[in-house]
Amino acid sequence: IKIYSLHVDCKVTSRFAHTVVISKIVNQANESREATFEVELPKTAFITNFSMSIDGQVYPGVIKEKAAAQEEYDTAVSRGQSSGLVKITGKSLEQFHVSVSIAAASKVTFELVYEELLKRQLGNFELLIKVHPKQLVKHFQIDVHIFEPQGIRFLETDSTFMTNELSEALTKVQNETKAHILFKPTIDQQKINPELNETLLNGDFVVRYDVKRGAAAGDIQIVNGYFVHYFAPREMPVFPKNVVFVIDRSGSMAGRKIEQTKYALLKILQDLSPEDHFSFIIFNSKVVEWKSSLLQAITENVMRAAGFVETLSASGGTDISQALLRAVSALDKAQGLPERSVSMIILLTDGQPTAGERNVEVIQENVQKAVNGKYALFCLGFGFDVSYKFLEKMALSNGGIARRIYENADAALQLQGFYQEVATPILMKIEMQYPENAIEGLTKNNFKLFFEGSEIIVSGKISNELELLPVEIKAQSHISDLTLKEEANVKEKEQVFRNQSYIFGDFLERLWAYLTIQQLLEKSVSAQEEDQRTLEAQALELSLQYSFVTPLTSMVVTKPPGQQQTELANKPSEAG
């Protein structure tokens, strides 16, 4: 079975990435063989299309509501569940895998399309393409086209497998607003060495970039009646933070996990700024507060804290409830904190609650009542024994986010990386206001916190008669309350994308749908049951309308007669 052509074509238009992977395979044996197509894609992406064509006959994937697809599948395959075509393969990736049996001398072309909105983190956008053909490929090519009307501020490529030889196959052409990156290694350049038919191509191909930012109130783009508004203010003073670290030291944390946690905490302590205040709450079945109040992060307190972290060891049960309630009360009774500052609780745990209150619903309710919108709660789940659903619901109900920390060599880096994302809050209580009577389907437009290096994105539909789209942003910075205003001329903005070959048709409408679905799903996590059903129904309708494989839809893949006829591609969820 030989892959004779593999082409990854990615178009990024105004942060929205549309990736097409086409693999062409021939069976050179004189009997039928299994041809396999494997693509690793970002978890944040939605698959939107798949097809196989075998000797001219096309077998398309069809996206349906999950329950209907499952029913069709169960009818086709009376032996119940197969493992499905998509599974999670790492902290940021999932893998689409399909194989089909093809006759001697037959050819098959696989095509997969997925889309995602690139998210700005720590000051840049990152497009990740996984490369792993497992064999030498005669026609191998990666094309990345980027069009950013705001202008490209910097652009770099990075790869885990690049050699001097291979870098000759990489070209980059760039002007003010556009870039084209082409990676097209010959068979000889792909080889580990001239004698061996083994490929070097195995790993990550990454494109990183950021855009130029002019207007204080962000940048508005408009196509076919849909708008997107990007807001990422620069050079603002950082709010002092008041952080309570709530660290699980139960028996299951023993060994590598507690060592990695200690290592990450020591690094994080060094990153605290002298205006910050902090404390530790360490828990197993018992809850211990390091100090009776939050301390200012001056050198001598940081050194004391480091000494304390060094002594941590793991044993006992897990009383998550008591630990979190003590963290809230520590912030409630803290004195001498800077007047304009951001208070947050960062919980790290690797298990279920096994001591104290064990009912997760009661814990969620009590914590939400205690936090009462005053602080942001971030929940980090270490490994796979945690109830991720519980942590996610708790974080999203209290203005934070949840993240799974994968148990591997770089767990300490994952912890530090997460901390860096939330370490520099520069705005709070951000309200993005648009004329109510002229906008429909507005995505989330109120944000609790904005962190340096990230970006706020709001999108919606504009009613026909609008000529000017006025925008007002209200927010609190460390120094003052801000009001920023901007007006976008709808016709002028529409012109920007008019004659661009880069544009895939209705990209802004798809961007709006993608963002809306992501937010409806996120909202449903912490919603009451009745609201949850409404939110999921709306997300399902959009998933079907725009053909996205989301947690509510499945793609039914049909194969030629005589093989397992039907398989399902589902979106795997972090909560499992």
* 61 residue type, one letter: G
Question: Cα 520–523–331 angle (5° rounding)?
Answer: 155
Rounded to 10 degrees, the C-alpha dihedral 296/299/302/304 comes to: -110
Per-residue pLDDT reduced to its tens digit, 473-488: 999 999 999 999 999 9
Yes or no: say if 400 and 419 are a contact pair by the CB < 8 Å rule. no
Q: What is the DSSP string of 357-370?
A: ---HHHHHHHHHHH
Q: Look at residue 560 in the predicted model and tell me its pLDDT.
A: 82
* 246 residue type, one letter: V
| Structure confidence at residue 503 as a pLDDT band (50, 70, 90) | low
Q: Look at residue 575 in the predicted model and tell me its pLDDT.
A: 66
Instruction: Name the residue among 122, 125, 217 with its Cα closest to residue 424.
Output: 122
The tokens for 424 are 């520099």
Instruction: List Cβ<8 Å contacts ≥24 apart for 537-542.
Output: 540/65, 542/513, 542/516, 542/517
Contacts of 118 (CB under 8 A, 6+ apart): 12, 15, 16, 17, 125, 126, 127
Mean pLDDT of 184-212: 91
Q: Look at residue 55 in the predicted model and tell me its pLDDT.
A: 86
Per-residue pLDDT reduced to its tens digit, 163-181: 888 899 999 999 999 999 9
Coil, strand, or helix at residue 168?
coil
Contacts of 154 (CB under 8 A, 6+ apart): 124, 209, 210
Question: Any idea which residue has 């996990």 for tokens?
Answer: 257
Q: What is the distance between the alpha carbons of residues 548 and 514, in angstroms, rounded to a whole number?
A: 8
Per-residue pLDDT reduced to its tens digit, 148-168: 999 999 999 999 998 888 899
| Structure confidence at residue 76 as a pLDDT band (50, 70, 90) | low
Contacts of 555 (CB under 8 A, 6+ apart): 47, 50, 61, 62, 63, 64, 69, 85, 549, 568, 569
Instruction: Name the residue among 409, 419, 349, 353 with its Cα closest to residue 383.
Output: 349
**Whole-prediction pTM value?**
0.91
Per-residue pLDDT reduced to its tens digit, 428-456: 999 999 998 899 999 999 999 999 999 99
Q: What is the DSSP string of 79-144?
A: T-----SEEE-SSSEEEEEEEEEE-TT-EEEEEEEEEEE---BTTBEEEEEEE--SS--SEEEEEE
Walk me through the domains of the chain, giving residue ranges and CATH numbers: 2-212+549-570 (2.60.40), 241-423 (3.40.50.410)
Give 3-state DSSP helix, strand, coil % of the chain, rounded to 5: 25, 40, 35
The sheet with strand 93-102 has its strands ordered as 33-42, 93-102, 86-88
Question: Cα 111–14–231 angle (5° rounding)?
Answer: 140
Whether 490 has a pLDDT exceeding 60, the answer reads yes
Q: What is the distance between the alpha carbons of residues 251 and 248, in angstroms, rounded to a whole number?
A: 9
Question: Any idea which residue has 């002092």 for tokens?
Answer: 240
Per-residue pLDDT reduced to its tens digit, 286-316: 999 999 999 999 999 999 999 999 999 999 9
Contacts of 320 (CB under 8 A, 6+ apart): 248, 283, 347, 349, 353, 356, 363
Q: Look at residue 501 in the predicted model and tell me its pLDDT.
A: 53
Element (H, E) at 6: strand 2-13
The tokens for 66 are 């999950």
